[in-house]
Structure 1
Amino acid sequence: MATDALLEIRGLDLRYGSSHVLHGVDLNLGDRPLGILGRNGMGKTSLCNTILGLHPNSAGTIRFDGVDLSGLAPEKRASMGIGYVPQGRRVFRSLTVEEHLKIVARKGGAWTIDRVYETFPRLKERRRNLGNALSGGEQQMLAIGRALLLNPRLMVLDEPTEGLAPAIVSDVVKLIELIAQEGIAVLLVEQNLHAALASVKDVAIMVGGEVVERMTAQALEEDTAMQKRHLGLEPGQAG
């Protein structure tokens, strides 16, 4: 079936040994930012890792701009235009901020090291500091800036607001909005419901390794019964 989706996932299965983690996941992502929501252990991070090629899928297909990603290494997928901000940031303890950025910087794209520093002035101030000397918020800025320097067509962000102060969460939400406005597709995995609904237009809910619901962010915001059933949130609870 023809599709205009940049990312198209069909019948995706993932197994870790005897554990069946993803069950026939179907998902399309076009130009509307999409949030993946669900309780812990529902397969959200596993989905991200499979898209990035960090875990080989057991069945099904992942297509990026019409190209089947089966068998392609993570670095090849990154070179095709898939940027990744992993859960936990994965900042190298022994590299400075500037060394992190120089490793991935490419010439000719809209995102440069100077632009990252303009977007995150705190990183410029800390550019000679090692990764293990950064706060959690600074590490998240670095992880996002590092992914943007690939000048990706798709950004996959896994729990980017985890453990951050509310003011920094607000900054991350604004940056995700900016990324989307620049035409970069966004796939956002997020536990913070308020942050997710402020960042994306559509949401998909995962339960037990399956996508069980897909709707607009506004529809989920108004459906407190859905929030309670699938996310375990009581009315008024942001997550």
Structure 2
Amino acid sequence: MSINIVDRHKRILDKLETNGYVKVNELSEEFNVSLVTIRKDLKVLEERNLLFRSHGKAIPANPYITEHHVTIKEKLYSKEKSKIAATAAAILEPNDSIILASGTSVIEFARHIPPLNGLTVLSASLNASIILAELKEIEVMQLGGSVRSSASSVVGPIAEKMLSEFTFTKLFVGVDGIDLDFGLTTTSAMEASLNKEMIKAAQKIIVLADSSKFNKKGFGRICGLEEVDQIITDSGIDNRTKERLIELGVELTIV
């Protein structure tokens, strides 16, 4: 026996909140209605900004993100980013050689890096390099290349070639999106390409990402989660995502 449309919509949203997604075919069977009816239900709910339809299923929100300037992004989740940065700084060791990618989490991380003797930093972020240049104990190397003004960072073949000449103990990378199936992403294809070269050059890959970055996708794919060693994030991460990351073998640090 089918249920009325109001109850059906409520149950769809309840399932979405519980599971993180709903599938058209499963809803059709559960509610004993046609696939067309379920698609109409999801279209109505999407028009009310209650979900986002995608390939035979629906998820809570639009996972695709647009690019914003670094000065805007720095103001978002600033407290969480500060805690993440402090935790990341605590795992640094004297004589480490590290790569800093771009992004506001990486810039905040640079502010927390202590004056460790023998620490070498290769940075794609112009802002991070300026911050670290104040510490005489640290050798700072700025990647060359084309300047990406929205992120105050460099990208391009010159930067990628420079990376191939070195090896590093750790890479600290910020991302625009973390999707459990698609992996790490950024809004820039050129930045994604550079990040891939950074991964090749580093022994340990550490992602700095506040919880708002999960279940989001950017235009450029960096890598799958199987290549990530550690993710440092805040307590806003949901249990389903947390459990999946642990299953994938990612060291998850929650601040």
What TM-score range do you get, normalising by the shorter chain?
0.3 to 0.5
- Point out which structure has higher relative CO (alpha carbons under 8 A, 6+ apart): 1
When normalised by structure 1's length, the TM-score is: 0.33
